[in-house]
Each structure stands twice: as C-alpha cells, then as structure tokens.
C-alpha cells in the first residue's frame, strides 16, 4: 500500500473557474467568504435559520439574490443545502461537527455548519504541510543522502529523505566500497550523521502508543520506512551489513557522530522529486513523510528543523502567500497525529480551494493528483477501508477526491467533487468525540460527500 508504483493510476481531475485567492491580509479570506447562501424557497430559508460563524460576520440576508455573485442558487445546490442541513445532524456524527462547502466558480460559501469552529483535524493536517513544503521547496526539489570518508570512518549523512530504500543504501555501499578499494583501506568504522534535524523527535500531543508504529521519532535518516525507535542507527546498521557483504570489514558497532569538515564525499543518492513524495504522502496518508517534510520546509525557509520551526513556516505560507484564514488554527506537527492540533473546516476548505486555481497547479498539482478517489483501491478511500460502500454513498464511487483523517475521537474528510450542476465544489467535514463506531462515522461522512456530489439527492 505504501509502494508508489503499486498505486492505482491517477484519474483525470482538472477543476477550473474564476478564482479569488491572492496575497490577502490574514483573516481577509474568511471575510470574503462570509456569505452563506440562503434560498428563496420558504422551507429552505427555514432550514438555514441557524446563523453560522461566517454568516454572523456579514449579517446575511434571506434570499439567493443577495449573494455576492449576484446569481440565484441552482436547483441542485438548493437540494444539496437542504440535505446537508439535515444529514449533518446524523447521530453517528455526534454534536461536535464542522462543515463547509465552497463553490469553485464564485466567491461564495454554499453551506456552513460551525465551519469556523476549531476541531481536531487528524490527517487533514497533511494538506497544510504539503502546501507549505511544495511552496517553499518547489515540486522538483530532491533530498540527498551522502556517504563521507575520513579518519577511517564511513559516515552515512541523512538528508531528510523519508523514501530512502535498502536498494538505495546498497548502491551507496557499492560506490563507497569501490572508492575504498581504490584508496587501499579494507576495514572501516561506520557512523551516522542525522544532525540535520533538531530535538525533540516527538511532538506535543503524540500518545506513546503512536510510535514507532504509527509514526517513528523524527530523524533525518531512515531506510525502508522502518518503524523503530532510532531510525538513524537502524539505517547505519543496514548500511554496515551491506558493506560487509561487499567485502569490507566493519569495526565495532554503528555510532552517531557529526561528519568532520575534512571528510571526503564518496557516494550520494538523490530522492525522487518532492512532487512524487507529496503524491505518495497524500494518497496513503504517510505520517513519517509528513513529519520529515515539515522539518525540511523549515530548513528551506531558513528556520530550525524542529516542529516549532516547521509549523511557523506553514502558518506564514498559508496566510501570507495564499491569504488563507488562520483564525482558530493551531498546529503542533506535520502529520495531524497531535491531539493538540486544531484546524477549522473552513480553513481546510480554503487550502483545498487553492488546488482549483490554474495558477497554482504547477506548484500544488501533486496534492490534487494525490488525493484519494472514492473507491480507489490502495488509497485511504479504498474498499479495503470500507469507504463509499453503503447504500447512500456508493453512488459517489469515482466521483470524489478527498483527504481522510482518523484518530480516536476525530474523523475528517475534506476534498472536491463535481456537484449536480456540473461545477466543482470544495468541502470539508470534521467530527470530534462522537461515540459511534468509527466505521459508522465514516459511512455518515461519505454520505455527506455524496450529498455534495448530488448523487445522493
């Protein structure tokens, strides 16, 4: 499932339409979207009577003619809003639910239910991490793992490549051995240098049960995504075994050390481009890749490679570069495993809306391509996870692209779909603290997405 080559081919998904984002002051995007469409039909107006946080900001009127776009809500959107108003109250979702639906072609919020409420977003946090990484580093950026030789020691230097494989290390060992043989030494010591990343290696809000299986302590060197307490030493041990197999004697055990200034480069490996790595991270919701990218993004912006440094850069990119509202936004890690993270549904929808703008496609396109497709095997929306397989949501198989999020006490689904009118809709749904079974909660959320699509009318 984590093998990029084994994933289902990406479906064509190219939303378009007039966009609004720009270099807006912090918070202005939320104000621009503070228009929750109310309908002319009496039953619909009554259904929208509860003012949302967005609507309250602008003193919303009661008819569709009062929208900023000056257009009447279509029949499909009218039905969607009425249905969402009812279906968001599904007991399976509990009482702590936030949701937003944006229209991709106009400056309007079609539906909002506690959209500005800060909720635990789980892995939807990765949308913010990916946006910042691609913006700061660029989609063509690669990560370099090096081998240096000095004072009888081969030092494996981590460069933040969370996709490094055993085969990659074997090639590094082969190249290093060839250099050693030419120089004469037949025995070496092996060290690892993971000094690129600072402490701590565990984020605020991570339960002890999360690591090393759900996420490993964050270090700059790892091989084959091994779920171990010390990924760097583990990678060094794999490297040492490969050197031994190639005929070089390794003296002693693998140690951690910073390569000296006089050490000579003898081998290097470059990762795949960042766009491919982000695609994989989003498709299978890889926590370890997300945490590594957060650190590398911090470095790319000239900040320390720490959780704090990375999250500060994410905030700057979202607010200053893209004008995304950060009201009630709190981020402590890159993966969303932190139970201290809080992101409103409205903010997640704004991030996703960037993906519908052609001007951002060269930079952020791999996020859109990586979003799991409803019913896509090998992704987090695949049938193996029981997604989009009940009577209400199965009509939306192949019609929704969305990022999942699942923690104990938090389930989220944020993405894009084409509505009944054929236009692209951006949505985000988050629930916290429902007492229903997780699979039942996910069925209810899939039903909300099917509602936005319009197939469950």
Q: Which fold has domain 4-138+277-453?
A: Beta-lactamase (3.40.710)
Question: How confident is residue 371, by pLDDT bands cut at 50, 70 and 90?
Answer: very high
pLDDT tens-digit readout, 349-368: 999 999 999 999 999 999 99
Interacting residues of 453 by C-beta distance below 8 A, sequence separation 6+: 395, 396, 399, 400, 417, 418, 419, 420, 425
pLDDT at 71: 57
Span(s) in the chain for CATH 3.50.80.20: 144-271
pLDDT reading at 14 higher than 60: no
pLDDT tens-digit readout, 76-100: 999 999 999 999 999 999 999 999 9
pLDDT at 422: 86
pLDDT reading at 347 higher than 50: yes
Mean pLDDT in residue range 21-44: 35
pLDDT at 189: 95
> Which of 260-264, 318-322, 367-371 has the lowest average pLDDT?
260-264
Interacting residues of 118 by C-beta distance below 8 A, sequence separation 6+: 328, 329, 330, 342, 343, 344
CB atoms within 10 A of CB 261: 6
pLDDT reading at 210 higher than 90: no
Classify 195 in phi/psi space as left (phi over 0), alpha (psi -120 to 50) or beta.
alpha
Task: Say whether 203 sits in a helix, a strand or coil.
Answer: coil
pLDDT reading at 398 higher than 90: yes
pLDDT reading at 150 higher than 50: yes
Supply 370's token pair: 């990586």
pLDDT tens-digit readout, 39-56: 222 222 222 223 233 233
Interacting residues of 181 by C-beta distance below 8 A, sequence separation 6+: none
Mean pLDDT in residue range 306-327: 97
Supply 211's token pair: 């690591």
Mean pLDDT in residue range 160-187: 90
Rounded percentage of the chain residues whose pLDDT exceeds 70: 84
Average pLDDT, the chain: 86
Contact criterion met (CB below 8 Å) for 341 and 250 = no
pLDDT at 140: 98
pLDDT at 106: 82
Distance CA 457, CA 452 (A): 9
Mean pLDDT in residue range 192-204: 94
pLDDT reading at 384 higher than 60: yes
Classify 425 in phi/psi space as left (phi over 0), alpha (psi -120 to 50) or beta.
beta
pLDDT reading at 317 higher than 90: yes
pLDDT reading at 12 higher than 70: no
Sheet with 109-113: strands ordered across:
109-113, 96-103, 424-432, 410-418, 400-407
Contact criterion met (CB below 8 Å) for 111 and 42 = no
pLDDT reading at 429 higher than 80: yes
Look up the pTM and report it. Answer: 0.85
Question: How confident is residue 295, by pLDDT bands cut at 50, 70 and 90?
Answer: very high
Q: What is the DSSP string of 211-237?
A: TTTTS----S--STT---S-HHHHHHH
pLDDT tens-digit readout, 218-277: 999 999 999 999 999 999 999 999 999 988 999 999 999 998 888 999 999 999 999 999
Q: What angle do CA 95, 97, 100 make, to 5 degrees?
A: 150
Mean pLDDT in residue range 110-131: 98
Task: Say whether 416 sits in a helix, a strand or coil.
Answer: strand
pLDDT reading at 125 higher than 90: yes
CB atoms within 10 A of CB 433: 13
pLDDT at 209: 83
pLDDT reading at 190 higher than 50: yes
Question: How confident is residue 185, by pLDDT bands cut at 50, 70 and 90?
Answer: confident
pLDDT at 358: 94
Contact criterion met (CB below 8 Å) for 415 and 449 = yes
pLDDT at 39: 27
Rg (CA), the chain: 24
Span(s) in the chain for CATH 3.40.710.10: 4-138+277-453
pLDDT at 66: 34
Q: Which fold has domain 144-271?
A: 3.50.80
């Amino acid at each position: 499932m984590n093998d990029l080559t084994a994933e289902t081919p990406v479906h064509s998904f190219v939303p378009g339409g007039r966009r609004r984002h720009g270099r807006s002051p912090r918070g202005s995007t939320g104000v621009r979207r503070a228009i929750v469409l109310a309908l002319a039909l009496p039953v619909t107006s009554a259904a929208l009577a509860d003012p949302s946080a967005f609507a309250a900001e602008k003193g919303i009127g009661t008819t569709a003619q009062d929208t900023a776009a000056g257009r009447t809500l279509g029949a499909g959107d009218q039905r969607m809003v009425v249905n969402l108003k009812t279906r968001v109250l599904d007991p399976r979702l509990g009482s702590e639910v936030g949701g937003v639906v944006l229209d991709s072609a106009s400056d309007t919020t079609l539906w909002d239910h506690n959209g500005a409420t800060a909720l635990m977003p789980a892995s939807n946090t990765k949308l913010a991490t990916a946006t910042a990484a691609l913006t700061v580093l660029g989609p063509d950026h690669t990560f370099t793992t090096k081998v240096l030789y000095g004072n009888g020691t081969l030092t494996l230097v981590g460069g933040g490549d969370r996709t490094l494989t055993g085969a990659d290390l074997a090639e590094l060992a082969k190249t290093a051995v060839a250099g050693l043989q030419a120089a004469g030494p037949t025995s070496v010591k092996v060290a690892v240098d993971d000094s690129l990343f600072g402490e701590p290696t565990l984020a605020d809000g991570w339960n002890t049960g999360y690591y090393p299986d759900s996420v490993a302590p964050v270090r700059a060197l790892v091989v084959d995504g091994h779920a171990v307490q010390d990924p760097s030493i583990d990678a060094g041990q794999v490297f040492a075994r490969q050197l031994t197999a190639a005929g070089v004697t390794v003296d002693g055990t693998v140690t951690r050390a910073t390569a000296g200034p006089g050490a000579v480069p003898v081998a290097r490996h470059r990762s795949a481009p960042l766009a491919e790595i982000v695609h994989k991270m989003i498709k299978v919701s890889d926590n370890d890749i997300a945490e590594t990218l957060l650190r590398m993004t911090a470095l790319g912006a000239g900040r320390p490679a720490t959780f704090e440094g990375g999250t500060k850069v994410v905030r700057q990119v979202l607010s200053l570069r893209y004008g995304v509202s950060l009201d009630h936004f709190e981020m402590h890690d890159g993966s969303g495993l932190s139970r201290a993270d809080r992101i409103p549904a409205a903010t997640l929808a704004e991030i996703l809306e960037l993906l519908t703008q052609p001007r951002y496609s060269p930079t952020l396109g791999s996020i859109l391509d990586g979003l799991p497709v409803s019913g896509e095997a090998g992704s987090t929306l695949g049938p193996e996870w029981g997604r989009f397989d009940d009577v209400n949501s199965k009509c939306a198989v192949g019609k929704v692209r969305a990022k999942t999020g699942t923690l104990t006490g938090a389930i989220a689904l944020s993405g894009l779909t084409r509505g009944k009118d054929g236009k692209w809709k951006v949505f985000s749904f988050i629930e916290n603290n429902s007492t229903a079974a997780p699979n039942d909660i996910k069925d209810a959320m899939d039903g909300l997405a099917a509602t936005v699509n319009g197939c469950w009318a």
